[in-house]
């Protein structure tokens, strides 16, 4: 059984938005903007992301002799947009995705809007920029329940690191938690009596409580009892999942770990942390969960965001279509004709979910 061990130390990140000595230069003003974001309680992940995106723009401008915000005009921004469209990556020659282009352009509007509000500029040069239309993609790969089990069972449980990794994979799969939410999880966010976790300031600065599930809780307790004491270093900041050197995970490190186990399983699917999130939502939907409950689990503010998962269940739609549409079958099934094994399994699954729902309602009633 494999155990994920980083083969090299994480390289130090490149300096972003270095001070050029010009207080009105793009890097200096971008640093001020990021400080303003932190003062106004934007998340650190958002600030870091915008710092990187503004760095890309500032470097592009620098190459073209544009160093100050006052030198940026709408034609300059549109030129940047065209450059992004025609850009090809050095590694594989592939273009930037529409999402990447949108992300790099979208940051310019709030940045220059802030510069206008702070009286550094008279007008926002990006206000009239036409940003590419958003394309909503279906999740490319979704694990089946069997495939998810294969991935989760990959870590070597004879190694303490493997136990930690198993607990992380169980958490990703069971709770559909986001990567950065898992990273920020603290011991005092766990309620092992009720079997829940409290996700504080998730995406959109929204809190939510989600169930762990019995199996996930069992592996989490095993990790907390047997492994975390070996990893923790003082002072202990109460972070739940720690790296082998006792530090909080970097998002990329967590992604690499999850991707390692997906590949090690031999499952012909691509993905990492978010693969489990997509899988959990889709399997729950196929299992009969109301989309509003899935919305609550995922922490989506808008139901339309959750509804993307309703379009990946074509297999379920085909089954319902075949079972209910009078013209769907080549021949009608006789009333005395036995159902197929697949149909019987589906019915058993529905009964199982109904029984679990009834048990949960009974438990809730008992707690009330």
What whole-number distance in Å separates Cα of residue 262 and Cα of residue 268? 9
Active site residue 208: no
The β-bridge relationship of strands 196-199 and 208-211 is antiparallel
Please count the CA atoms within 13 angstroms of the CA of 295 that sit on its side-chain side: 13
> Angle at which helices 44-63 and 26-39 pack, to 10 degrees?
170
The answer to whether 312 and 250 have CB atoms below 8 angstroms apart is no
The closest of 144, 154, 139 to 258, measured between CA atoms, is 154
Which is the catalytic residue, given 4, 33, 249, 309?
309
The answer to whether 183 and 248 have CB atoms below 8 angstroms apart is yes
What whole-number distance in Å separates Cα of residue 303 and Cα of residue 309? 11
What whole-number distance in Å separates Cα of residue 341 and Cα of residue 349? 12
Active site residue 277: yes
> What phi and psi values does residue 23 have, to the nearest 5 degrees?
-65, -20
Which is the catalytic residue, given 52, 208, 274, 316?
274
The 3-state DSSP class for residue 240 equals coil
Which is the catalytic residue, given 203, 253, 263, 316?
203
CB atoms under 10 Å from CB of 232, counted, come to 14
What whole-number distance in Å separates Cα of residue 77 and Cα of residue 125? 7
Active site residue 178: yes
* Strands of the sheet with 190-191, listed across from one edge: 190-191, 196-199, 208-211
The 3-state DSSP class for residue 129 equals coil
The answer to whether 54 and 30 have CB atoms below 8 angstroms apart is yes
CB atoms under 10 Å from CB of 194, counted, come to 12
The answer to whether 190 and 207 have CB atoms below 8 angstroms apart is no
What whole-number distance in Å separates Cα of residue 237 and Cα of residue 247? 10
Which is the catalytic residue, given 50, 228, 277, 278?
277
Active site residue 350: no
What whole-number distance in Å separates Cα of residue 97 and Cα of residue 322? 37
Which is the catalytic residue, given 55, 104, 178, 278?
178
| Per-residue tokens: 187 | 């011991």
Q: Which residues are catalytic?
A: 178, 203, 274, 277, 300, 309
């Amino acid at each position: 059984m494999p155990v994920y061990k980083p083969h090299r130390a994480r390289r130090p990140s490149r300096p972003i938005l270095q001070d050029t000595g010009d207080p009105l230069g793009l890097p200096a003003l971008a640093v001020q903007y990021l400080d303003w974001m932190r003062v106004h309680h934007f998340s650190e992940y958002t600030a870091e992301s915008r710092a990187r995106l503004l760095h890309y723009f500032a470097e592009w401008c620098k190459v073209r002799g544009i160093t100050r915000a006052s030198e940026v005009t709408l034609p300059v921004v549109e030129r940047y947009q065209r450059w992004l469209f025609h850009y090809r990556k050095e590694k594989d020659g592939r273009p930037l995705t529409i999402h990447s282009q949108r992300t790099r352009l979208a940051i310019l509007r709030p940045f220059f809007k802030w510069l206008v509000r702070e009286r550094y500029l008279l007008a926002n040069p990006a206000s009239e920029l036409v940003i590419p239309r958003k394309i909503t993609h279906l999740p490319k790969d979704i694990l089946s329940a069997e495939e998810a089990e294969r991935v989760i069972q990959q870590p070597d449980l004879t190694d303490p690191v493997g136990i930690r990794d198993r607990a992380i994979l169980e958490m990703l799969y069971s709770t559909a938690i986001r990567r950065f939410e898992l990273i920020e999880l603290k011991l005092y966010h766990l309620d092992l009596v009720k079997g829940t976790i409290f996700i504080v300031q998730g995406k959109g600065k929204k809190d939510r409580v989600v169930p762990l599930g019995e199996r996930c809780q069992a592996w989490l307790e095993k990790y907390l009892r047997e492994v975390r004491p070996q990893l923790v270093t003082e002072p202990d900041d109460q972070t739940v999942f720690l790296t082998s050197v006792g530090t909080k995970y970097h998002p990329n490190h967590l992604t690499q770990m999850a991707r390692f186990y997906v590949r090690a399983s031999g499952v012909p699917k691509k993905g990492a942390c978010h693969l489990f999130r997509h899988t959990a939502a889709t399997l729950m939907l196929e299992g009969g969960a109301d989309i509003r409950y899935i919305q609550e689990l995922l922490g989506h503010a808008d139901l339309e965001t959750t509804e993307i998962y309703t379009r990946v269940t074509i297999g379920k739609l085909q089954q319902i279509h075949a079972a209910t549409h009078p013209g769907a079958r080549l021949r009608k099934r006789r009333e005395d004709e036995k159902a197929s094994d697949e149909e019987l399994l589906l019915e058993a699954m529905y009964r199982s979910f109904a029984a679990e729902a009834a048990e949960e309602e009974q438990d809730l009633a008992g707690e009330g």
